[in-house]
Amino acid sequence: MADNSHGSPDTSVTVATPGQGGVDTFTNPGLPPHRPRLADTDPRAEKRAERQVALLFFISVLGTLLFFFAYFFIPLNDTIEQLRLQNLALGLGTAFAMLGIGVGIVHWAKTLMPDHELTEERHAVTDEKDRAEAEQIVGTILDESGIKRRPLIRNTLIGAALLAPLPAIAIFRDLGPLPGDALKHTFWDAGMRLTRDPSGTPIKASDVTVGSAFHVIPEGLNEAENKLEEKAKAVVLLMRLDPESLNPSEGREDWGYDGIVAYSKICTHVGCPVALYEQQTHHLLCPCHQSTFDLEQECKVIFGPAARPLPQLPIDVDDEGYLIARSDFQEPVGPSFWERG
């Protein structure tokens, strides 16, 4: 068996004796002999194929009938089961109707139409003479237009043509307002109560037990004019941890209340809601791109593509024991943008 490697393509050898260049190559033996099909030689097979094709077309008819049956006689009576059944029947009806025709035609083509392969010569896309003539014609056109001889005309035309489309861009200016400082503040304001999402009922500090998480919107958001736009910036996640485990930095000691902290729910990566709170590890996880924030380090990024901590909402408690915001966020929430600074 070792002899099998004899004459095998050892690179150095084959490069030394290349068989390229048309001298030492095999000649094309031409098309292999045609092998007749069963239906070509056996009339019974031919008849059988014919019946099969007809049967397939008949199956298609049945499929169409199934569709009509499902459409008119499987009523949608408010139950999901009925809808699922109708969908299945409509779909299978269509599938049979289509596959019956398709498979039938192809079967017909394969068994009953001629299966001799034919050869056709390729022609050049164009011939050289045409190309030369075309070149000449274009030359004449350019000459007669005089565009080469009159640079003043040419250059002013180019200038005009470059400018002319600009209005088509400018006209889209009113697609939206300018950003202004819209991204730099949110609905939150000093003294505004923290309320439950989506009901909008206020939250008492005593409601927030250790280990719990509240999804929070600002008071009055549900009645706001641009509710969704405001909500897209203002949503907050509220959690209570053991005060010992929080390590507030200087100047932020009073941003929480007795272990209760509120952080923006909008990811600093591309803006998905960072809503997954692991109450034992004190990690927040974004389900879209897995950025992980550590509550014990003021929501510093500990994993994933985000590069900035989640902004914290400073909170306090009012006279009635309800949680309120001390102010708006101290920095823009959500994904970074050029003017963020």
Does position 241 interact with other proteins (CB under 8 A)? The reply is no
**Residues contacting other proteins: total by CB under 8 A:** 142
Q: Which of residues 111-130 bind other proteins (CB under 8 A)?
A: 111, 113-115, 117-122, 125
By CB under 8 A, name the one of 15, 162, 170, 171 that touches other proteins: 15
Of all helices (H) and strands (E), which one includes residue 1?
Answer: none
Cα gap 220→233, rounded to integer Å: 14
Q: Which is nearer to other proteins, 140 or 206 (CB)?
A: 206
**Quick check: 321 binds other proteins (CB under 8 A)?**
no
Which residues, numbered 178-237, are part of the site for other proteins (CB under 8 A)?
178-179, 182-183, 196-198, 203-204, 206-215, 217, 226, 228-229, 231-233, 235
Q: Is 6 in the site for other proteins (CB under 8 A)?
A: yes
- For residue 17, what are its two tokens? 């004796």
Mask of contacts with other proteins, 46-85, x by CB under 8 A? ------x---x--------------x----x-xxxx-xx-
With CB under 8 A as the contact rule, the residue among 58, 290, 318, 321 that binds other proteins is 290
Of 32 and 251, CB closest to other proteins? 32
- CB-wise, 148 or 303, nearer to other proteins? 303
Alpha-carbon torsion, ordered 198, 189, 310, 179, to 10 deg = 100
Query: 276: how many CB neighbours lie within 10 A of its CB?
Result: 14
Cis, bond preceding 248 (omega within 30 deg of 0):
no
Contact 43, 79 (CB under 8 A): no
Which residue of 257, 262, 265, 295 would you call a contact of other proteins, by CB under 8 A?
Answer: 265
Q: CB atoms < 10 A from the CB of 20, how many?
A: 7
- For 226-235, b where at least 16 C-beta lie within 10 A, e where not — what string? eeeebbebbb
